[in-house]
Amino acid sequence: MFFSKIWFFLIALAATVALTIALVMPRPAERAHVENEKQRLVVACSVIDILLGDDARNRVELASAFASKVEIVSALEAASGVASIDEARMKSVRAVGESVMEEMKGKRKPDFAVLIDKRGRVVARVALDQNDFGDVAAGRPLVDDALAGYLRDDLWSHNGTLYLVTAAPVVKRETAAYAGAIILGHQVTNALAQRLVKSLDVDVGFYLGKDEVAGSKTLAVEASPLVDAVKGIAGADLSQDCLANKPIPITAGKDSYTALVARLPGEVSARQAYYTVFIKRPAALGFAGTLKVVNQSDLAPGSFPWILVGGAFLVMLAIGIALMMMESDRPLRRLTAEAVRLAKGETERLSEDAHPGKFGSIARSVNIHIDKLGREAKSAKKDMDQLLGPSPEGSLGTIDLLATALPAVRPGGSGPVSSPPPSEFKFTTAATQPGVTPAAPPARPTGRPGTPPPTTPAARAPTPPPIRVGTPTPPAMPVTPAYIPVAPSGPVTAPAPMPPPPALSLDDDILGAAPEATPAPGEQGAGTDYFEQVFDQFVTMKKSCNEPTTGLTLAKFSEKLVKNREDLMSKTGCKDVKFTVYVKDGKAALKATPVKED
Amino acid sequence: MSLPLRVCVVVFGSLVAVGPVDAGPVIGKLDLPKEVPMREASATKGFLDRVENPLAPPRPVAVTPYLVVVLEQAEGAQKGTAPGQVVWELVGESFARPVVIAPIGAEVLIKNVSKTARTLVALEDAGLVPSGPINPTGPKSFRIAEAKVYTIADKDAAHLRGTIVGVTSPYVATVDETGKFEIADVPEGNYKLRIFYKTDWLEGTTDVAVSGKGKTEVAPKVPALNAPKKK
pLDDT, position A70: 93
d(CA A542, CA A560): 17
Considering all CA atoms of chain B, what is the largest pairwise distance in Å, rounded to the nearest integer?
86
The packing angle between helices A2-24 and A306-324, to 10°, is: 150
CB atoms within 10 A of CB B212: 16
Name the closest residue on chain A to residue B58, using Cα atoms: A149
Residue B15 binned pLDDT confidence (cut-offs 50, 70, 90): very low
More confident residue, A283 or B3: A283
Mean pLDDT of chain A: 77
Of B44, B48, B114, which has the smallest distance from its Cβ to A136's Cβ? B114
CATH topology for B82-169 is Immunoglobulin-like (2.60.40)
Q: Do A267 and B57 touch (CB under 8 A)?
A: no
**For residue B2, pLDDT beyond 60:** no
**Chain A neighbours among B 90-129 (CB < 8 Å)?**
91-95, 114-116
Of B55, B91, B116, which has the smallest distance from its Cβ to A176's Cβ? B55
Residues linked to residue A125 through DSSP beta bridges, in sequence order = A114
Q: How many CA atoms lie within 13 A of A583 on its CB side?
A: 18
Nearest to residue B183, comparing CAs of B17, B30, B65, B20?
B30
Nearest to residue A142, comparing CAs of A163, A124, A127, A123?
A163
pLDDT, position B81: 63
Of A153, A173, A267, which has the smallest distance from its Cβ to B55's Cβ? A173
Domain ranges of chain B: 21-39+59-80+171-231, 82-169
Reduce the secondary structure of A260-315 to three states and give it as a string. Answer: EEEECCCHHHHHCEEEEEEEECCCCCHHHHHHHCCCHHHHCCCCCCHHHHHHHHHH
pLDDT, position A379: 84
Q: Do B46 and A145 touch (CB under 8 A)?
A: no
User: Residues B34-67: pLDDT tens digits?
Assistant: 888 888 888 888 999 999 999 999 999 889 999 9
More confident residue, A260 or A480: A260
Name the closest residue on chain B to residue A118, using Cα atoms: B59
Angstroms from B122 CA to nearest CA on chain A = 18
**For residue A301, pLDDT beyond 70:** yes
Length of chain A: 598
The percentage of chain A sitting over the pLDDT mark of 90, rounded to a whole number, equals: 29
User: Residues B96-145: pLDDT tens digits?
Assistant: 999 999 999 899 999 998 888 999 999 999 899 998 999 988 899 999 98
Chain B interface mutation, best of A59, A68, A90, A135, highest count of B Cβ atoms under 10 Å: A135
Of A56, A60, A139, which has the smallest distance from its Cβ to B93's Cβ? A139
Q: Do domains B21-39+59-80+171-231 and B82-169 have the same CATH topology?
A: yes
pLDDT, position B86: 92
From chain A, the residues in CB contact with B160 under 8 A are 139
Q: How buried is residue A88: exposed, middle or buried, by Cβ count under 10 Å (0-12/13-18/19+)?
A: exposed
Among A316-320, A560-564, B73-77, which stretch is predicted with the lowest mean pLDDT?
B73-77
User: Residues A498-531: pLDDT tens digits?
Assistant: 444 444 444 444 444 444 444 444 444 446 788 8
d(CA B161, CA B178): 23
pLDDT, position B155: 85
**Chain A neighbours among B 75-94 (CB < 8 Å)?**
91-94
d(CA A41, CA A276): 10
Domain ranges of chain A: 29-67+188-282, 68-187, 392-595
Of A52, A141, A149, which has the smallest distance from its Cβ to B44's Cβ? A141
Nearest to residue A527, comparing CAs of A464, A570, A576?
A576
User: Residues A304-320: pLDDT tens digits?
Assistant: 889 998 998 999 999 98
pLDDT, position A285: 66
pLDDT, position A284: 65
More confident residue, A194 or A560: A194
Confirm if B47 and A238 have CB atoms less than 8 A apart: no
User: Residues A24-68: pLDDT tens digits?
Assistant: 888 888 788 778 888 889 999 999 999 999 999 999 999 999 999
pLDDT, position A400: 41
Average pLDDT in the A535-562 region? 86
User: Residues A156-179: pLDDT tens digits?
Assistant: 998 889 999 999 999 998 899 999
Residue A313 CA to chain centroid, in angstroms? 18
Q: Do A138 and B93 touch (CB under 8 A)?
A: yes
Question: In whole angstroms, how far apart are CA A187 and each of A45, A141, A298, B74?
Answer: 20, 19, 48, 59
**For residue A233, pLDDT beyond 80:** yes
CATH number for the domain formed by residue range(s) B21-39+59-80+171-231: 2.60.40.1120
Question: In whole angstroms, how far apart are CA A592 and each of A163, A253, A359, A382, A385?
Answer: 128, 101, 45, 16, 12
Residues linked to residue A155 through DSSP beta bridges, in sequence order = A164
Q: Do A140 and B51 touch (CB under 8 A)?
A: no
User: Residues B131-170: pLDDT tens digits?
Assistant: 899 998 889 999 998 899 999 999 888 899 999 999 989 8
Average pLDDT in the A196-211 region? 91
Average pLDDT in the A481-509 region? 44
Q: Do B56 and A171 touch (CB under 8 A)?
A: yes
Name the closest residue on chain A to residue B96, using Cα atoms: A136
**For residue A464, pLDDT beyond 50:** no
Chosen CATH of A29-67+188-282 out of 3.40.1130, 3.30.450, 2.70.50, 1.10.3470:
3.30.450
Nearest to residue A214, comparing CAs of A289, A274, A173, A260?
A274
Q: Do A267 and B94 touch (CB under 8 A)?
A: no
**For residue A429, pLDDT beyond 70:** no
**For residue A103, pLDDT beyond 60:** yes
Beta-carbon contacts of residue A336 (< 8 Å; ≥ 6 apart): none
Chosen CATH of A68-187 out of 3.20.20.70, 3.30.30.60, 3.30.450.20, 2.30.42.10:
3.30.450.20
Q: How buried is residue A598: exposed, middle or buried, by Cβ count under 10 Å (0-12/13-18/19+)?
A: exposed
**For residue A206, pLDDT beyond 50:** yes
Q: Do domains A29-67+188-282 and A68-187 have the same CATH topology?
A: yes
**For residue A552, pLDDT beyond 80:** yes
